[in-house]
Amino acid sequence: MYRYAGDKRWEDCGQPGQCRRLFGLASFGGGLYVTAEDGRCYVYAGDRNWRECGLRHHAGEQRGGRRSESYFGHHCYGGTIPRAEVFRYNPLVAPGVPVEALLSEPKPQRRVRRLAPPPEPASPAWTSVRRFLDPAGYEFQSPNEWARVTSLTTFQGKLFASLGSCTSSRLDAPCDFRGTVWSMEAGRNVSYDRDLGPGWKHLTAVRRGDRLELYVDGQLVATSAAFTPADYDLTTQCPLRIGFGEVDYFSGKIREVRLCQRALTADEISGLAAEQPSLGRTP
């Protein structure tokens, strides 16, 4: 691993494990994570040292992880080959805690594959979320038959996964598999996926009945899908974090933070956004 130091210089950051190839760099929880070719995940501990975070794929699987992405709080997701499987990493999870599959899209009907419940992962911190390619009673004979998760990314509060063949050839993976894109949503989220631009901005997040709303400068810019409020218990011992994310942190200044015990109306939000920030006093 190398880190760019500027002026065309690269600094040696050491070797995670003993593998010859590394994949899937991801920023998560303030740390830098990488997956080796054998499926083991490592986090950078500084001074050219790396700490192992467990084996992502199943015991006996031929190859390991490829893509990684942080999503939804204290979780990081990674894709593997040869079965195009997505695993979720949570360093706080206890061994043996069951985790349900969150992907809710309809299961496609394919001639040679079935979607089966995945076995337990090799490391307790890694939980299989979805296996996309699972030939019934068939063992892979050639890398040309493998499949992989080609990319993972977040957008509009969801985690997206694209699928393809292992060798990137259009002839390897079946036509009803390669090139497909899947998404999942953990709980309910609302996001604004555009640059806010320079200067002061007024942001308001509202839980109104069965939806979440997001306002920028008094204007509604995003609304979540409908949900049943009783399905979401917000009781937690974790602290509320504002401007502190798992992938990146807010860069700028925050003032006039307000927490309300009810959902503000659109007119109330517009009125608050029209107020000038009191820059001369402590909020």
Q: What is the pLDDT of residues 68-106, one digit of tens each?
A: 666 755 578 888 777 788 888 877 653 333 333 333 333
pLDDT at 35: 82
Cα distance between residue 209 and residue 228, in whole Å: 9
Q: Please provide residue 141's backbone torsions phi and psi, each rounded to the nearest 5 degrees.
A: -105, -20
pLDDT at 14: 93
pLDDT at 66: 53
Higher pLDDT: 158 or 93? It is: 158
Cα distance between residue 1 and residue 43, in whole Å: 12
59 pLDDT tier (thresholds 50, 70, 90): very low
Average pLDDT, the chain: 76
Domain regions of the chain by residue span: 2-184, 203-274
Higher pLDDT: 174 or 223? It is: 223
By CB atoms closer than 10 A (0-12, 13-18, 19+), residue 266 is: middle
Cα distance between residue 132 and residue 165, in whole Å: 12
Average pLDDT rounded to a whole number, residues 157-167: 82
List the Cα angle 160/161/162 in 5-degree steps: 125
